[in-house]
Amino acid sequence: MSSSSKDVKLAVPGSRPSAYSYFNPKWPTFLTAVAAAFALYIVSGWRKGLVTQLPQSYALCASRGKGTIYTVDESNPQVECLLVQGDKIMDAGDKDKVRESWAALSLVHAPGDEASLAVLEVPKGHIVVPGLADPHAHILEYGFKMQLQLDGARSLQDIIDILESYVLAHPDVLNDTSKWIEGMGWDQNLWKDWRGGFPMAKDLDTPLLQGRPISIARVDVHATWVSERVLDIMGGLPERVDGGEIIRDREGDPTGVFVDNAMSLIPSPPRSDAVMLEYFDRAMQDGLSVGLTSIHDAGNDARVVRFYEHLAEQGRLPMRLYIMGMLENAQLKMQRRENFGKEGRLNVRGIKMFMDGALGSWGAALIEPYSDKPDTSGLLRIDPQEMRRDVKNAWEQGWQVNIHCIGDRANKIALDIFEEVLRDAQGNASVRRPRIEHAQIMQSSDLERTGKLGVIASVQPTHATSDMWYAESRLGPERIKGAYAYQTLLRNSPEGVLPLGSDFPVESINPLLGFYAAVSRLDRSGRSPHGENGWFAKERLTRAQALKGMTLDAAYASFAEHDIGSLAPGKKADFVVLNKDIMSVPVHEILTTRVAATVIDGRIAFGGL
């Protein structure tokens, strides 16, 4: 058979060739190879536009020296081509293997049909990786933070300037002093010439801000700073709050900062559905642009879960969501959902619980007092007996249990409870997959016990590089050795699993920053307290470990490893095209890597090729 115009098809939008060519499975192998190679040569030489809509079936191929496909499939780690049909990966291998698979599929599905396969080329220098996941994040809080960001502040005056600029830029707020001003991101540890401790309500009393209700969350969302007007609205306050703290001055008067459970006293106005949708859309847009195809949303009440369910039913989830619910008055007020909604992208299978607070606000529960604040050992947000009861109840009802633990005391209590539950239920941890969220500071014995029990440690590498400038002063030279111990946790894991997330909006939504932090233990300037080799360099991860942590390990932590997380036949066609090879470039170049395309269910969700 000759290569007629019917056999070799070059799609031409206007006068420009597209980025894909076609080959026909019934051509002789030699002619097929020549025609496909010739078409790819023409495309690579003349390619000008981007493909933003993909055909139903196609091969994604990387030519030698022009790109690499990293599969995170242990049996087939790097391939030349992926064969995609609909929303699934049908095969992975070299061009000949994919061509043979397509021929077999065509004979089965369309015998006698002259079906041709589109071949899409990975651009020169680009790579393909599985869809990136964030196994610990806060979707709506990200949208909330983006409307008034405070994390760029490096002084109290910076905070004042940002707030005043916000007021002046919003006439409705400027002209109505009763409107609440809410934001997130301040961190007093970063302020120059700061007096120490927490800021106060009176620090917000400038002529423009005075008399306005202002409520701004700390970067870790474990402390909230309010204005004098909010204190007036709140009126009388309790002397103490279980699992929280009202910061007071020497006379016993509240200063304007509320820590952990005490934050619930602040009468912030509820969010409307319209506002939640605005926040959600912003998070999805930004997430897709940095290669996220899956997010584990860590902690939502029943109302927010219903919000996600409605979006799923309407087919309005642009990526896969694994939702962790929360107890309300010790009750579960939501249903478990598996592959729920029009496109099957919503799962509600986990329950998020809080054991303690955060290190930056001295709320992490420690066994011994803080080195830089010896009058406190942090906070337990719940009585251990109540936590034990709640964990057992959720476990008995079939939920995955995920406990927020920062301090070594919190981690020890959580592991004690998981050990009891697993023993009493004669359970296998790999079936229910209990998780500790953060697993940040542990005794060496508990680092080992986490692995023995099979408890998943869900960690955030950028927490290490954000905290490293003050963490040792908080914890001291001995206790810090058991903190942010990612390589140790991975080595101890019986399944070889260490999900890597960001906790956005506490940290950046960009997963490549987490990848960089995991493999370098450096900040974005290439610095660390221990020099250019990284902070506690022995706890660095390899690049292969880090990529697996934000793909297949994240999938495992959400019971989805058979469907997503690697580029293997039978799995969903979720993948990301990056403009640099993060697996081989100098480490600092990871920070300048950009997403060219994000593909979910075989369809482009962001960018193009």
Q: What is the pLDDT of residues 402-454, one digit of tens each?
A: 999 999 999 999 999 999 999 998 878 999 999 999 999 999 999 999 999 99
What are the φ/ψ torsions at residue 499 (nearest 5 degrees)?
A: -65, 135
Q: In 10 A of CB 397, how many CB atoms?
A: 10
**Contact 401/434 with Cβ under 8 angstroms?**
yes
Share of the chain above pLDDT 90, in %: 85
Q: Which two tokens stand for residue 575?
A: 């993948």
Q: In 10 A of CB 192, how many CB atoms?
A: 9
Dist CA 122 CA 44 (whole Å): 10
**Average pLDDT of the segment spanning 578-602:** 97
pLDDT value, residue 324:
98
Q: Which two tokens stand for residue 429?
A: 């941890």
DSSP for residue 270: P
**Contact 304/165 with Cβ under 8 angstroms?**
no
CA dist list (Å): 88 to 82, 116, 574, 602: 10, 18, 8, 7
pLDDT value, residue 427:
79
pLDDT value, residue 535:
98
**Average pLDDT of the segment spanning 146-166:** 96
pLDDT value, residue 107:
58
Residue 255's pLDDT band, with cuts at 50, 70 and 90, is: very high
Q: In 10 A of CB 281, how many CB atoms?
A: 13
pLDDT value, residue 22:
55
**Average pLDDT of the segment spanning 121-132:** 95
Report the chain's mean pLDDT, rounded to a whole number: 90
pLDDT value, residue 21:
55
pLDDT surpasses 80 at 4: no
pLDDT surpasses 60 at 109: no
pLDDT value, residue 117:
84
Q: Which two tokens stand for residue 384?
A: 């251990």
Residue 292's pLDDT band, with cuts at 50, 70 and 90, is: very high
Our measurement of the distance from residue 314's CA atom to the centroid of its chain's CA atoms, rounded to an integer in Å, reads 24
pLDDT surpasses 80 at 486: yes
CA dist list (Å): 278 to 274, 275, 295, 355, 448: 6, 5, 18, 31, 43
Dist CA 392 CA 582 (whole Å): 42
Dist CA 160 CA 162 (whole Å): 6
pLDDT value, residue 49:
55
**Average pLDDT of the segment spanning 342-360:** 97
pLDDT value, residue 438:
98
CA neighbor of 119 nearest in space, from 54, 65, 53: 54
Strands (E), 283-434: 292-300, 320-325, 337-340, 346-354, 400-405
Higher pLDDT, 31 or 552: 552
* β partners of residue 81: 61, 93
Dist CA 244 CA 475 (whole Å): 21
Which of helix, strand or coil describes residue 92?
strand
pLDDT value, residue 559:
98
pLDDT value, residue 115:
60
Contacts of 413 (CB under 8 A, 6+ apart): 355, 365, 380, 384, 387, 405
Q: Which two tokens stand for residue 408?
A: 């070594």
**Average pLDDT of the segment spanning 181-207:** 94
Q: Which two tokens stand for residue 110?
A: 């369309």
